[in-house]
Copies of this chain bind each other. A is one copy, B any other.
């Protein structure tokens, strides 16, 4: 039987593997993590509301009933498309008849990779736990700090990037400070914390309709978040973030701006865009290789409106399914079909009973947007147990204003 290799167990890879269920192929899915992460809720792990296990499941558990799929834990080093080989970093090589590259993207620092240490981004569970540790530790250090200026800096949180992730982090941080930590400290009021959301462009949530952008900003400001648009960050150093004519002392800086595609894309030897995304054909194959598909955040393709498709779960899911169908057609000797994206809408949550949802046929803000957000995310979580546990967490959080998972774990539990 033809062998299909899928690189990456994110949304794209997982849906591709599942869609190959009824196709006569052997599938191998390779990922350097043993688990799939439900990315849309990753910020809730970073913000101490959910546990890693609530939003992540082992890839081989998800695919345990798909006997045609083999799951390998391993890191892909490079792809040799001419020889139809995938090389792993441990020296192993896997040959394929069809290849689906769904290796995703990570955050980028506008060419300043050194900022990474001072301003972590949010892509993996480890990132989320690191951010959680930094945020909780800042409050702990503030409790022991006697110098008012230093305490001020410890209680200032800068979030760079006003897309959905930045908005969600800022809103959650404001709620932590104003509500969850109330009465927990003896030497300062956590409600005095300053949360500043910094966006280089003229508005937050640039991909949303004007009405929802305004609603999001309004709701954030009501929570006490300071929103600075048209502010391009030019320098990040420990304890400070700087723009051209402005600077902010903040011991905690979080990065929610910029995307860099997986370096694997460049090993395919075909053109990539500025962020390293592979310029794919309309049928999701790459130029000159009709058996190699690139999907999800790693693929660069324009939608019907001529604008690039966004790096969201929906695109990856639909591309994964489409690539699988095209493999099925190739095996049957039929021509491949071009990909068409069905955009069901966008959502971003700001806080308790506050979200914006653009479903195209309707737009919701406030509590209704939030209920829509809750519902959509809950039903899309993989695994009944996850859904149940997350529901318990959210219900409890709603009524108590508490964050359940306020743990400082890892190497340094007392020092920054």
State the A residues within 8 Å of B (CB): 32-35, 51-54, 56-58, 60-61, 64-65, 70-75, 89-90, 92, 125-126, 129, 136-137, 140-141, 143-144, 183-187, 384-385, 388-389, 392-393, 396, 400, 402, 404-410, 413-415
Contacts and interface: CB of A to CB of B under 8 A. Distances in A.
A144 B34 contact: no
Nearest to A53: B405
A144 B384 CA distance: 30
A126 B410 CA distance: 6
Nearest to A49: B53
A408 to B, nearest CB: 4
Q: Taking the full assembly, how many copies of this chain does it contain?
A: 2
Contacts of A35: 406-408
Contacts of A389: 389, 392-393, 404
A72 B140 CA distance: 8
12 contacts: A32-B413, A33-B408, A33-B413, A35-B408, A57-B406, A65-B183, A75-B414, A90-B415, A385-B392, A385-B404, A389-B392, A389-B393
Nearest to A92: B144
A307 to B, nearest CB: 35
Given A35-B407, A73-B413, 12 more contacts: A32-B413, A53-B407, A64-B183, A65-B183, A73-B140, A73-B414, A74-B414, A125-B407, A125-B409, A384-B396, A385-B393, A389-B389
A51 B385 CA distance: 13
B385 A70 contact: no
